[in-house]
Chain A
Amino acid sequence: MSFKPEYRLILKYADEPGYTVDIDCYLRHGGYQVLKKALTLDPAFIVQEVKKSGLRGRGGAGFPTGVKWGFINHEKNTKPVYLLCNADESEPGTFKDRQIIYKDPHQLIEGMIISAYANRAHLGYIYIRGEFAKGAKILEQALAEARERNFLGKNILGSGYDLEIYVFRGAGAYICGEETGLIESLEGKRAYPRIKPPYFPAVLGLYMCPTIVNNVETLCHVKHIVDMGGEAFAKIGTPNNTGTRIWCVSGDVNRPGYYEYPCGAITFGELIYEVCGGIRNGNKLKAVIPGGSSAKVLRADIKYKIPRKKADGSTEIVEMGLEDIPLDFDTVAATGSMSGSGGIIVMDDTRDMVECLRNIAEFYAHESCGQCTPCREGSLWMKKILDRICRGNGRKEDSKLLLDVANHIAGRTICAFGEACSWPVQSFVELFEEEFVAKAKKEDSMEILEPVEG
């Protein structure tokens, strides 16, 4: 069992024996009680509570949820407001939202109803990844049950508030998880991200109306915030990294899976060695991707310089090994990476980092929507270079070329996919350059290659 006991807020009942997805089970466990409370509160008050809670989005960017909600000017707005639940979950290494949907769908629905009420939305969609057929069915069944009990529909629980929520199944593309790509897809178009500005969803979202797009886990948290109050929620975790997070761990550990802990409560070392039972086959930890495959890889045998605030308000730089880095938004970001979607991929010392990167690059080259030039052309180029290196036809210039290509993508595309495909390349090449050089030294090339111009 794990060294540090989990603090399960969202997954409290999820894996409890006998806990099922039907509404009666949920009601027996206190379900929809928070909704009853929420409907007696002023929507603006709930928004304030979410702001007070310090909740940051669990989809990947970690943007403060209350701030996002605050972008809608309800006094001036004359258009309908929409609430979209992003259940596309397509970041490799991430499988937390699926667990919530498959095991406790009513928690998500309750969180959504409260969030919709707070944002004065009367229509919501759960945008679910097309491949999650079972999840979609579960949600549809749960929505029907909720509607039957008047938790959805007209005049919810006699409050005068109306809301409908529908499940929308995506056709299956990574970019459908990008919030504006999701909106385009929901509108029946090809999932191309929109340019920001002006298409900030809170201003111009679904059908050019104010729209809030939140992740499954984020919306579930809203229920708990209303239940315990924003201030109480903010006490979980650390300042600016409040609440719990579900970490899904995959890769070379003995017990891969999903674990819920307060933000910053455990370190990578504790998670890997104690919670997940250590590295497989007694191997050594080599690297960790901390937040889904698009996050920059962290190397186990180097020290990271992390700025820390001291009690007097000044900042000091603390050197930390990977295993000592606490799992929260800010510390992971200080390493140059991100805690992103919470998908932690562990790699041991048997891993060939060039092969690992090739695998990641193949995914991103395949998933690039093709809308803008740098990502469309660069992602496949990087994949092709890595393919060639892995075939044994690498050149000593290739690592430099890879970096240069990645640098010409990151920060220059319409959406964050540019970073998603180039950050792994930048970090793998920078941190494990010796492996790229070594692999490129093989001289069994059958291909005729031109040298790269210096």
Chain B
Amino acid sequence: MSALIKNPFNHDLPAADTPLVNVQLDGQWVKVPKGLNVIEVAKRFGKFIPHYCYHPKLSIAGNCRMCLFEMGVPKLDAQRKPVLDEKGMPVISWLPRPQIACATQATEGMAIKTSSALTTDCQEGVTEFLLINHPLDCPICDQAGECRLQEYSYDFGKGRSRFVEQKVKKPKRVELGPRIMLDDERCILCSRCIRFAREIAKQDVIGFVNRGSYSTLTVYPDRPFDSNYSLNTVDICPVGALTSKDFRFQMRVWFLRETKSICTSCATGCNVIIGSRENVVYRLTPRVNEEVNSHWMCDQGRLNFHYIHSKKRVVEPASHLNGSLFPLEWNEAVRTVAQRLKEFSPRQIAFLVSARLSCEELYLVKKLIELLGKGEEIFSEVVPRKGVADSLLRSEDLNPNTLGTVCLGIGKRGEKLAELQEKIRTKEIKCLFAIHENPEECGIPEDLLSSLSFYVWQGLIPGSAIHTAHILLAGASFAEKSGTMINVAGRLQKLHKAILCPGRAREDWRILRDLLLVAGYKDKFFEEIAQVYTEMSKEIEAFGGISWIDIGDQGIDLSQKFKV
């Protein structure tokens, strides 16, 4: 596995050369990698051992005791050799004390009971203990629907409390950091967040204070947990103790429609789930991909979706006339753009293309350039975005599909931006088509833009010089479209459409396809994005004929097919 993030622990992923041992799981002998912990052993064979504190990517704490199970070891004879049964397998000697599955590793001849009387008694006991001081506020708890305590209470709870004493009261609404709120009453002290802060986020500022039942999770004085990864603790909190300030009380999780996609805030391309309802995105949460982001994502990427619902967004095609904006019908807008583009010689046209577009969109841009250029070179460039890489998941490149532009041969990673400016100044370029980029933000001043004979802007939120554009085409955000992107490591991954475009905005590939058609492209009519991809994968060598289906949810490595 080669995740971009280096987890200090990978309990679920033993090394490929780990030898196998025989383990008896609920009466059946199975072969598992030596040293694999019992929770993972059970998981591999469809069994389930409940747990709170165990997380495959964090150190073992062993403190929730929910994963207690009945364990057996090979019975030994007088020579301390295993006694074998008629089938040649070890006879099991069951231990009287339960063991914790998270910290117990598979060894030769070990036996596991995931549902014996002792195991069940342990699970019921721990559930009862956890509930005695826990407020039963599922109806108002923000974690309802994603709470292990709620789930296990149903599975292992008595349905009635034997606890008639006063509950221990703990603080409510404690700020752990700028993005995290803690409700101490609900904390079951699993320490996942503490271990995450220490081991993954490398900001060791969370800990427990006080003893016994009065133990409380807290953040060190004047040391807020403000890591760019802090919101991962909300994901891994098994109960409703840690909540995201951004998401809490916004939506019940079971109302959310979950769409698998990728984060487009930088070139890492973390795998995400877009949680949406009624055409509104409410949250992004990481989706496990051991080749990219493992279980995590940064807060910056996670919260970078609110612009989708910005009031400043262009939601219908329009044209500027005498300083005023007039809505257009799509066919009229497309026809106008296509006709005007054809009025210019290829050397007078420039495409300012975003590396935030999908590969399919870039492919259609490429087709449009080829169609308009007819062998002559049309100027194209992309806008680079540089940030500061961390040693975790943030890439220096803040464009999610820079490698897509490289594969499709569009632009020179921003090298020609100065040239573009100069060519507009010298009137060499008279027509500019900016797709999901605001030219004024990449150094082309307003006066130059207003000097253009034709300026088409396609995108979401226009910049300050938008009044200089002749035609505005309302595009789609990452959550409103499907397609593929290639991340910084050369991994081809899929975006999936989670919500519809607002107003009369359209998916960019459809706008580009229509422009191509009106401009005279006769080769192919694309009805679905997958068709665009298929055509592209046949034509562009880097995609190596990989089918749309083959990309799957986890993406596919293309780094060998071109130099990353």
Q: List residues of A whose CB falls within 8 A of some B CB.
A: 173, 190, 195, 197-198, 365-374, 376-381, 384-385, 388, 401, 408, 411-414, 447, 449-450, 452-453
Contact = CB atoms under 8 A, between A and B. Distances in A.
- Consensus secondary structure, chain B interface: loop
Interface of B: 60, 62-66, 68, 96-98, 100, 103, 121-122, 125-126, 128-130, 132-133, 158, 160-166, 168, 188-189, 207-208, 210-215
A445 to B, nearest CB: 11
Contacts of A367: 211-212
A412 B64 CA distance: 10
Contacts of B161: 450
Contact of B122 (A190, A377, A384, A412): A412
B113 to A, nearest CB: 15
Nearest to B210: A370
A381 B131 CA distance: 12
Contacts of A385: 165
Given A195-B62, A388-B165, A412-B98, A376 B212 contact: yes
Interface centre among B62, B96, B98, B161 (most CB of A within 10 A): B62
Q: Which 8 A-B pairs have the closest CB atoms?
A: A370-B215, A408-B125, A368-B212, A377-B129, A384-B165, A380-B213, A195-B62, A372-B63
Contact of A373 (B60, B130, B162): B130
Contacts of A378: 129
Contacts of B163: 381
Contacts of B100: 195
B60 to A, nearest CB: 7
Nearest to A175: B211
14 contacts: A197-B103, A370-B189, A370-B208, A372-B64, A373-B63, A373-B189, A374-B126, A376-B212, A379-B212, A380-B212, A401-B162, A412-B65, A450-B164, A453-B158
Nearest to A191: B211
A365 B164 CA distance: 17
Nearest to A370: B215
A190 B208 contact: yes
Given A370-B214, A381-B165, 14 more contacts: A370-B215, A373-B126, A373-B188, A374-B126, A376-B213, A377-B130, A377-B133, A380-B133, A380-B212, A385-B165, A412-B65, A412-B125, A412-B126, A449-B164
- Consensus secondary structure, chain A interface: loop
Contacts of B122: 408, 412
Contacts of B210: 370
Given A190-B207, A372-B65, A412-B65, A377 B98 contact: no
Contacts of A372: 62-65
Given A365-B213, A370-B189, A370-B214, A414 B126 contact: no
B212 A370 contact: yes
A173 B160 CA distance: 35
A294 to B, nearest CB: 16
Contacts of B215: 370, 376
A381 B60 CA distance: 27
B68 A412 contact: yes
B212 A365 contact: yes
A453 B132 contact: no
Given A195-B103, A381-B163, A370 B65 contact: no
A190 B194 CA distance: 13
A178 B214 CA distance: 21
B97 to A, nearest CB: 5
A352 B162 CA distance: 26
Nearest to B60: A195
Contacts of B62: 195, 372, 414
Nearest to B130: A373
B164 A370 contact: no
Nearest to B190: A373
A175 to B, nearest CB: 8
B37 to A, nearest CB: 12
Contacts of A412: 65, 68, 97-98, 122, 125-126
Contact of A452 (B98, B162, B213): B162
A253 to B, nearest CB: 32
Contacts of B133: 377, 380
A412 B96 CA distance: 11
A414 B99 CA distance: 10
B103 to A, nearest CB: 5
A371 B126 contact: no
A408 B129 contact: yes
A153 to B, nearest CB: 36
Nearest to B211: A370
Contacts of B66: 373
A385 B132 CA distance: 13
B168 A380 contact: yes
B279 to A, nearest CB: 43
Nearest to B100: A195
B487 to A, nearest CB: 37
B212 A373 contact: no
A365 B213 CA distance: 8
Contacts of B208: 190, 370
Nearest to B126: A373
A371 B213 CA distance: 9
A376 B126 CA distance: 11
Given A190-B207, A408-B128, A449-B164, A414 B213 contact: no
A197 B68 CA distance: 15
Nearest to A385: B165
A414 B61 CA distance: 10
Contacts of A376: 129, 189, 212-213, 215
A199 to B, nearest CB: 10
Contacts of B164: 447, 449-450
A394 B165 CA distance: 12
B168 A411 contact: no
Contacts of A388: 165
Nearest to A380: B213
B97 A377 contact: no
A369 B166 contact: no
A384 B62 CA distance: 26
A384 B212 CA distance: 13
Nearest to B128: A408
Contacts of A373: 63-66, 126, 129-130, 188-189
A366 B129 contact: no
B436 to A, nearest CB: 50
Interface centre among A173, A370, A373, A408 (most CB of B within 10 A): A373
Nearest to B215: A370
A411 B97 contact: yes
A453 B157 CA distance: 13
A366 B212 CA distance: 7
A190 B61 CA distance: 14
Contact of A371 (B63, B103, B188, B214): B63
Contacts of B98: 411-412
Nearest to B52: A373
Contacts of A450: 161, 164
A313 B345 CA distance: 110
A380 B212 CA distance: 8
Contacts of A452: 162
Contacts of B128: 408
Contacts of A369: 211-212
A412 B164 CA distance: 24
Contacts of A370: 189, 208, 210-215
A366 B211 contact: yes
Nearest to A393: B164
Interface centre among A372, A378, A450 (most CB of B within 10 A): A372
Given A374-B125, A374-B126, A408-B129, A453 B160 contact: yes
B411 to A, nearest CB: 52
B53 to A, nearest CB: 9
B71 to A, nearest CB: 12
A447 to B, nearest CB: 8
